[in-house]
Amino acid sequence: MLNLVLFGPPGAGKGTQSAFLVDRYELVHLSTGDLFRFNIKNETELGQLAKSYMDKGQLVPDSVTISMLEDAVNKNPQAKGFIFDGFPRTHGQAQALDAFLEGRSTGITSMVALEVPEDELRVRLAERAKTSGRPDDADPSIIQNRIDVYNAETAPVKDYYEGQAKYQGVDGVGSIEEITDRLVGIIDAL
């Protein structure tokens, strides 16, 4: 299996790039943010819980996030591989993902990280707010909170994969096509 963690701060372009990579490598795209938003739209109990965290720019608790992600993997038994987008976002999630995949006799092939400076992220998220309809994009203080949470809790997940020699950084500034080409170059060489 080809199992990729597509990593990067909010607004780095993970969702945009996933769409291309899914087609090219025939992978199943699992975005925890999308899964939460699907639950919010359908007014499930999980959605209600997730919304209370997301609207403030905080992380949804690990226990809830991990079991949701595992359920989503289990629903795709025929998958050739996965792109994990927005997951793992904490050290605990990274450990849980490894244990879960090991139980299925597979593992993470690589973490590919989109590297984008903070000022550029703020500009992109403010721009996305015009069309995304996402309450967490609309308020600069919530955006800042998401960036702060990323730096405090999520950025260290890089070290976890570096420790396994699986981290690959990619310059996430440029045109969408340029960045896709950089990602493809790295993934083809895996």
Closest approach of Cβ 20 to ligand ADP, in Å? 17
Name beta bridge partners: 104.
none
Question: Which entry of 37, 128, 158, 166 is annotated as an active-site residue?
Answer: 128
Query: Which is nearer to ligand ADP, 118 or 190 (by Cβ)?
Result: 118
Query: Which is nearer to ligand ADP, 17 or 32 (by Cβ)?
Result: 32
Closest approach of Cβ 54 to ligand ADP, in Å? 4
Closest CA to 85 of 12, 141, 23: 12
Question: Which entry of 37, 56, 134, 158 is annotated as an active-site residue?
Answer: 134
User: Is 14 an annotated catalytic residue?
Assistant: yes
User: Is 89 an annotated catalytic residue?
Assistant: yes
Query: Which is nearer to ligand ADP, 146 or 185 (by Cβ)?
Result: 146
User: Is 128 an annotated catalytic residue?
Assistant: yes
Question: Which entry of 51, 89, 124, 182 is annotated as an active-site residue?
Answer: 89
User: Is 134 an annotated catalytic residue?
Assistant: yes
Query: Which is nearer to ligand ADP, 45 or 188 (by Cβ)?
Result: 45
Three-state SS across the chain?
Answer: CEEEEEECCCCCCHHHHHHHHHHHHCCEEEEHHHHHHHHHHCCCHHHHHHHHHHCCCCCCCHHHHHHHHHHHHHCCCCCCEEEEECCCCCHHHHHHHHHHHHHCCCCCCEEEEEECCHHHHHHHHHHHHHHHCCHHHHCHHHHHHHHHHHHHHHCCHHHHHHCCCCEEEEECCCCHHHHHHHHHHHHHCC
Closest approach of Cβ 189 to ligand ADP, in Å? 26
Applying CB under 6 A, the residues found at the interface with ligand ADP are 10-11, 32-33, 36, 53-54, 57-60, 65, 86-87, 89, 93, 136, 146
Active site residues: 14, 89, 128, 134, 146
